[in-house]
Amino acid sequence: MEPLERYRPIIDDFDAFLEACERPLGNAARVNTIKASVERTLTALEEEGLAYEQADWNSRVLRLETGSPGSTWTSFHGFTHGQEEVSAVPPVVLDPQPGERVWDSCAAPGGKATQIAALMDDRGTVVANDNNLGRISALRFNAERLGATSLAVTNADARNYSLNRFDFDEFDRSLVDAPCTCEGTIRKNPDALDNWSEGAIASVAGVQKGILRRAVQATREGGTVVYSTCTFAPEENEAVVQHALEEEDCRVVDFDIDLEYSPGLTEWDGDEYDSSLERAARIYPHQNDTGGFFVAKLEVTA
Amino acid sequence: MTDDSDADAAEIERNDGQRFDRLPATPAERTVEGRVSREEVVDYFDDRFGMSPETFDDYTFWEKGAGKIWIYGGEAPTPLEIEAIGMTCLRTRQEHWKPTTDFVQRFGGHATDCVIELDREEARAFATGEDQELERWEGDWGYLIGAHEVAGQFEPLGIGLYVHGELRSMVPKGRQREL
């Protein structure tokens, strides 16, 4: 937990934060409405005798009381998909609509890409990209199990992604759920901080900046780009969005989500960020008893 | 060596297993040797499983790999060299065409024929990948959709092969579950 000490000055009730980081996380699942309605899924869980709790902020997100959420009928049928509660936030903020063209630039293993497809009623085009061929097999497996027919899967570096392979030349919306140092996943994965270093943060931040810039370029004017990570480091969050604001035509916009969170930072370690970064959300483990996440919503401007 | 120019000149191309090609609308429009048409695929789902052709009005069908047919709801040009579009739905280029488990789970609710209803124990065996003696099936032998009741509705489990009084689960290893 030592690397997290650097966040003591910015996190309210830091001791509660540390305590939450040490508690293991329960099992959460998302209802996959491509396969079944929320109502039918809940009935199916009850038939199996599985206890659940619906998240206050999203009726499609469930906390399950079972040791093996994959060995359930609802999972076999693809009615549910194991996904951490906060991980379901970015697609909701992205708010994709049926019929749109949407890019998920770092899509494997596919939890968010299939959630985007479900939010679009599986109508439209969701381009799910990942640069890691090994993880693409997991993405494909999940997409087929969940019955997403609107997904096109590509294997490329998102930083110089080409739309030449398709018939269209821009997206309506893009999600950059960037590779990161994953500090926020410590409750699920106790090894998350083992390879932590400031050097690792600096190196991954360069990649994050490249992907976010490309996402803004590839999205139409007036379109939406959501940037998210599962880490607390401002270098990987506000500083990356700040870079996009400086280099590309975009602005940070507000969003509503019925979860407790803290505003984005406007300064860190001697650097100042645009005041609009307060509109971003820092979700800490002690606020909603979840993992940690950062989410910012951008609008592409002229 | 002398045959090279003949092969290049042939009007019927050979299947390129590395890329997605959209299926021709009808057999008459076929330009790739051995490739099935959209019409044949939709007719097969109708003839075998009673899925009405309108079920697939919003989807396109593609081949990538020899006889591997994919169903897709999004936009894409043909040919297309990417990893995947939509889901694999059918195996052709073999004596008996075979639908995939994932396709059957997604679209099998539209089927009216060749659906075998399983009780909870039978469904469990099916999901585990077990073969089981089921003497009650009086319909055609061959590929059937296994289904069971979930939350008040029949829900397809996957594809099984019925022969000689036995239902063989075709649920792929990675999709099998101990329930």
Q: Are A86 and A26 in contact (CB under 8 A)?
A: no
ipTM of the complex as predicted? 0.95
CA dist., res. A68 & res. B156, Å (int): 22
Residue B89 pLDDT > 80: yes
Residue A119 pLDDT > 80: yes
Residue B63 pLDDT > 90: yes
pLDDT digits (tens, 9 = 90+) for A201-248: 999 999 999 999 999 999 999 999 999 999 999 999 999 999 999 999
Q: Which residues pair with B116 in a beta bridge?
A: B146
pLDDT band per the 50, 70, 90 thresholds, residue A30: very high
Instruction: Sort out which chain A residues have CB atoms less than 8 A from B76's CB and list them.
Output: 125, 152, 166-167
pLDDT digits (tens, 9 = 90+) for A128-161: 999 999 999 999 999 999 999 999 999 999 999 9
Which of A120, A127, A144, A154 to mutate to test binding with chain B, by most B CBs within 10 Å of its CB?
A144
Residue range A9-15: average pLDDT?
96
CA dist., res. A95 & res. A275, Å (int): 24
pLDDT band per the 50, 70, 90 thresholds, residue B5: very low
The reported pTM is: 0.96
Instruction: Sort out which chain B residues have CB atoms less than 8 A from A76's CB and list them.
Output: 127, 157, 175, 177, 179
| Contact B11/A at CB under 8 A | no
| Nearest CB to B72 within list A144, A149, A166 | A149
- Phi and psi at residue A195, in whole multiples of 5°? -105, 25
Which of A50, A103, A122, A149 to mutate to test binding with chain B, by most B CBs within 10 Å of its CB?
A149
Tokens, residue B65:
């790999």
pLDDT at A259: 97
Contact criterion met (CB < 8 Å) for B82 and A145 = no
pLDDT digits (tens, 9 = 90+) for A163-205: 999 999 999 999 999 999 999 999 999 899 998 999 999 999 9
